[in-house]
Structures are given as structure tokens and as C-alpha cells.
Amino acid sequence: MKNEDYVCHWIETAEDNFASMKRVFKAEEYVWALFIGHLVIEKPLKACCARQLGVDVPRIHDLTRLARKAGIELTEEQEDDLDRLTLLQTSIRYREERDVLSTKARKTWAQDHIGRIVELRKWLLGVLSK
């Protein structure tokens, strides 16, 4: 597979995840929608890494670290958003933390996070189109 094929793979699977995130949110599974939302951002970042580093994409899930490895310059707000999403996905992986998060993850709260995911996704697709 060529390097650009890896880039396309990450973008295509992120788009599948984007559609899934919306379906899961609509089903009022807010915690899982946010977990999938992390993938919506992680995969374009891995596409950026593939473009920058070749096929040896880091096997990490820390969004800020991925952005740095890809050579992407972040605003403070973007870095905060990426850090927040990374913490959320980590919390969702563990039952006790997920249960606590579930009490907090109401529609409005989740919508705010999904809105940031949508904005980050749009920005990353712009980065990839250059």
C-alpha cells in the first residue's frame, strides 16, 4: 500500500465513525457517542501522521501528542479540546469512571462536546486537503 492509501484509509474510516457518532447520539447514548467522537478526530490526526511520517503511524490515542507528531500547530483552544477528548475517551474505557461520566453526560453537555468534535473535524479535513 502506498503512503497516500494509508491517508485515505484513515479519512474513510473517520467518516464512517462520524456517521456512527451521529446515530449513537440520536439514540441518546451520549457517552458512547463521545467515545466514537474521539475516533472521528483521532483518525484524521493519524492520516496527518501518515502523510508526515509515512506508514509508521504512532499507536497512541492521545490526540495532542498525535497532532504534535504530525507537525500540526495548535491554538490553545484546539489543544484544550484535544486534551479534553483524550481524557473523556480514557474515562469511558473504565467502568467506574464511565458510570460517573454517565451521570454527567446529558444531552446538552454531550451536544457541546459533539459541536467541538464537528469543528475539529472540519479543521483537520482542511489541514489534510492542503
CATH number at residue 110: 1.20.120.330
Domain extent, residue 95, equals: 3-129
Residue 99 corresponds to which cell in the numbers above? 458510570
Contacts of 16 (CB under 8 A, 6+ apart): none
Position 42 scores a pLDDT of: 98
CA-based nearest residue to 125, from 1, 8, 32: 8
Per-residue pLDDT, averaged over 108-118, amounts to: 96
Position 102 scores a pLDDT of: 81
Identify the band that residue 35 occupies on the pLDDT scale cut at 50, 70 and 90: very high
Position 103 scores a pLDDT of: 81
Count how many domains the chain has.
1
Q: Is 27 exposed, middle or buried (0-12, 13-18, 19+ CB in 10 A)?
A: exposed
